[in-house]
Amino acid sequence: CLPGSLQDEATCSVCLEFFKDPVSIECGHNFCRACIVKSWMPRSSLPHREALKLYCKDDRRTICVVCDRSREHRPHAVVPVDEASEEYK
């Protein structure tokens, strides 16, 4: 049995299973290749270079659309970057 934090690092935040054919994306998060391909449009060659289009109010940073679906950000308040920039002016 893996300790909690090590188990979290070896788990895909989309499917919540241990990584199968893991890939890293530009923001530093890791996912199963199948999960990232299902979640990401357009489907281009990995690693995807998705723009950071969302703002996580809880973490006070921009995130990509795949990270928004991850377990880490799912319970957080996330808004489009444009909306956040107007709010914080």
Domain boundaries, the chain: 4-87
Supply the mean pLDDT for the chain.
Answer: 79
Q: Which residues pair with 18 in a beta bridge?
A: 11
pLDDT tens-place string over residues 43-77: 455 557 667 889 999 988 888 887 887 778 889 99
pLDDT of res. 2 = 47
Query: What is this structure's pTM?
Result: 0.55
Q: What's residue 40's pLDDT?
A: 67
4-87 adopts what CATH topology? Double Stranded RNA Binding Domain (3.30.160)
User: What's the sign of the alpha-carbon dihedral 39, 45, 43, 48?
Assistant: positive
Higher pLDDT among residues 5 and 40, named by residue? 40
At CA 81, angle to CA 77 and CA 87, rounded to 5? 75
